[in-house]
A = this chain, B = another copy of it.
Amino acid sequence: MIISMKPDARREEIEYVCERIREYGYKVHSIQGEQRVVIGAVGVGDVTACLESLEALPYVEKAVRISAPYKFVSKEFNPGRTVISFDGLTIGGEEFVMMAGPCSIENERQIMETATAVAEAGALVLRGGAFKPRTSPYDFQGLEREGLKLLAKAREATGLAIITEVMSDRDVDLVAEYADVLQIGARNMQNFALLKTLGKCGRPVLLKRGMSSTIKELLMSAEYVVAHGNPNVILCERGIRTFETATRNTCDIAAVSVLNELTHLPVVLDPSHATGKRSLVPPLARAGVAIGADGLLVECHPCPEKAVSDGAQSLDIAQFRQMMRDLQPYLELWRASRIPEPAAV
């Protein structure tokens, strides 16, 4: 922690700040600058409380933490990569994981047709929403348990693993019964009651970045899940909210690289929500592979213009196949970058 005092802070005010810092369990180093005193606090203590309380003092200009606020998810804790296994797959390692499927599960025919098609085209995981977070109470809210059962059927038929969203801590057990990976939507990234429950769910969790959440906040939310007992968290960049309206969100693609520097957890990209527009999905998918994401989450529907939700951003099946074909050379470069070079003889 670094605390900079106001230029006109008096000696006894500086001393009071030093005392308060010591009370929180830190050692104090103070530096007399040209214009002001700057105090360094060294040690281990309740950083947030200390920072916020010091900033309450009128003669303190700013209090800044130096160490990262997360621990288990940091590269400092684990400088390698976390490889998560489920249903015979791994993510975070040498396997690139394409997850695809409709926004909402609508009926058996739709989900089976999509599952078969995306499996054939090379997807490893089937996505599909049974519980749907909808902005309007009047929009389709999902098939709930019925939808979960259809996902299970599709898994049986195709061998695909299943990822689906859970929206409330009440439903975690139910969803964990059917899904291989539990998805947390952007709007729930800071639903802390839900995050705590996920710590105990026994399944990998895919955590989507909130639409106005910083990378640091995303890592803090992952830290909630890990600190409550579940180390298997996959992070997902899905676009953030900015002033630009040409796309549904603004894909912060560099976040993939920033996360790779800060954390050992796998990172995937969702080009469908990031753009909101079908024609933009394939080029952004290419960019996601090139920048080194561990997988992609792509919306695909047999007949997007009849979808109950997200039709505008869903690929149809022919388009999905075409995208998979076009990605192949990029995936080969991706794999070459992941496979450790053989040791020289």
Contacts and interface: CB of A to CB of B under 8 A. Distances in A.
B34 A43 contact: yes
Given A31-B40, A35-B67, A36-B67, A247 B254 contact: yes
A147 interface: no
A284 B257 contact: yes
Contact of A191 (B34, B188, B283, B288): B188
A263 interface: no
A4 interface: yes
A171 to B, nearest CB: 8
Interface string A124-152: 00000000011111111000000000000
B253 A287 contact: yes
Interface residues of A, number: 110
A258 B246 contact: yes
Contacts of A69: 135-136, 138
Contacts of A241: 212, 243
Nearest to A35: B67
Contacts of A170: 169-170, 193
A302 to B, nearest CB: 12
A52 B287 contact: no
B242 A304 contact: no
A52 B309 contact: yes
Contact of A305 (B54, B140, B279, B307): B54
Contacts of A255: 244, 246-247
A87 interface: no
Interface of A: 2, 4, 7, 20, 29, 31-36, 38, 40, 42-44, 48-49, 52-58, 62, 64, 66-67, 69-70, 76, 133-140, 167-171, 187-188, 190-194, 196, 210-212, 214-217, 220, 223-224, 227-228, 240-247, 250-258, 261, 274-275, 278-280, 283-284, 286-292, 304-312, 314, 329-330, 333
Q: What are the 5 tightest A-B residue pairs by CB atom distance, in nearest-first order?
A: A212-B212, A55-B312, A168-B193, A56-B311, A290-B290
6 contacts: A2-B64, A33-B67, A40-B40, A137-B220, A242-B250, A257-B280
